[in-house]
Amino acid sequence: MFFMQTGKVSALTRLKKVSVPVKDIASQLWCEKQMELYEMGGFYSTPAMTKGAAMHAIMQEKVMEKLTIEPITYPDRLYKWAYENYTSLINLRKNGYCREIRMYGSINGFRVAGQLDEIRIIDGKTVIVEDKTINSKNGTNNVGLRIDVDKIQLEIYKHLFDDIKSGEYTYENFINSNGILQMSMSTEFVKGLDQIGIKNELRRLDIIHKLMFEELKKLPELSNILKLRYIDRQTTQILTEMDIVYKRETLDSYLVEAMKYWSGDREARPVSEENVWRCKMCKFFGKECKTWWKE
């Protein structure tokens, strides 16, 4: 489900990506130019993100047993994500929560993907939780700096989840737009699945995704109250937690403008003049980006 427009080159094509990351769409609110420069480097990761990823892995291990076979190819990775999603969603019924669920969908005709931090069942409803790590040495003072960006990311996941639950985005949409039926997993990976006892009927890329989508649709009604948590990067202690009331109209308005960048209707925008203070926190300031640089 690609957005196609004659005479324009989408940012997705320029950045050589197969789908738009949810985190990128949210990061556009902070500084679109910074997000683009990170992606032009081939891998969008900051030191804080690396530490945060390690923390997420620790939290994930508490509630999910990962597939021990290492993927070799992209189809292998898709299978691994889907299998872990599927088993985690099944365990959600027993544990009351699960973590690191891969989400897919479509926004303005673009394929979109991301990893939702946590799903909980609270008072009979499905609640989406997004975790952000911060350095406890700074207390919670730096929470306010990026809270709008974090809220947008959380709301995009709710948007994708809603579309799956309502049937607006289906398993068929996913396999057709991603070419799943034309993909083949590596022989080594499939042999590995057999060796660890994965049932034959579960060793198909299309079937495991079908089961994953079915589990997502089975979940109770989605709550419009989303939870945003800030967690200490070292200890995994929750420092502060807040409820976010989801408003689809507000999100849609943001997405219309944000996706114009991805469609190639406009170039990446730097921060506005009143937000120049953000530039001092950016590794590209005065180097790759000199929009507000004073010689």
**174-220 pLDDT tens trace:** 999 999 999 999 999 999 999 999 999 999 999 999 999 999 999 99
Domain borders along the chain are 52-254
And the tokens for 243?
A: 């409820």
CB count, 10 Å around CB of 66?
Answer: 14
* Single-letter amino acid, residue 31: C
Burial label, 22 (beta-carbon count in 10 A; 0-12, 13-18, 19+): buried
Encoded tokens for 199: 């049932």
Q: Which of 73, 165, 77 is nearest to 119 (CA)?
A: 165
Of all residues in the chain, the percent with pLDDT exceeding 90 is 75
Q: How far apart are CA 154 and CA 161, in angstroms?
A: 11
Q: For helices 171-178 and 205-218, what crossing angle results, to 10°? A: 150
pTM over 0.85? The answer is: yes
| Residue 264 per-residue DSSP state | T
d(CA 280, CA 47): 16
Q: Where are the alpha helices (DSSP H) in the chain?
A: 11-14, 22-40, 47-61, 74-95, 147-166, 171-178, 187-195, 205-218, 248-263
Report the alpha-carbon distance of residue 157 to residue 175 in Å, rounded: 20
Residue 225 near residue 244, CB atoms below 8 Å: yes
Gyration radius from the chain CA atoms? 20
Mean pLDDT, consecutive 10-residue stretches, the chain (295 aa), reads 56 91 96 95 63 56 76 96 95 90 95 96 96 75 82 97 97 96 96 94 95 96 96 87 94 96 95 94 94 85
Sign of CA dihedral 161, 253, 21, 30: negative
Taking a C-beta distance cutoff of 8 angstroms, is the pair 128, 165 a contact?
no
**Which tokens sit at 127?**
């609640």
Buried b (16+ CB within 10 A) or exposed e, 32-63: bbbbbbbbeeeebeeeeeeebeebbeebbeeb
Residue 61 CA from chain centroid, whole number:
19
pLDDT of 46? 59
SS3 3: coil
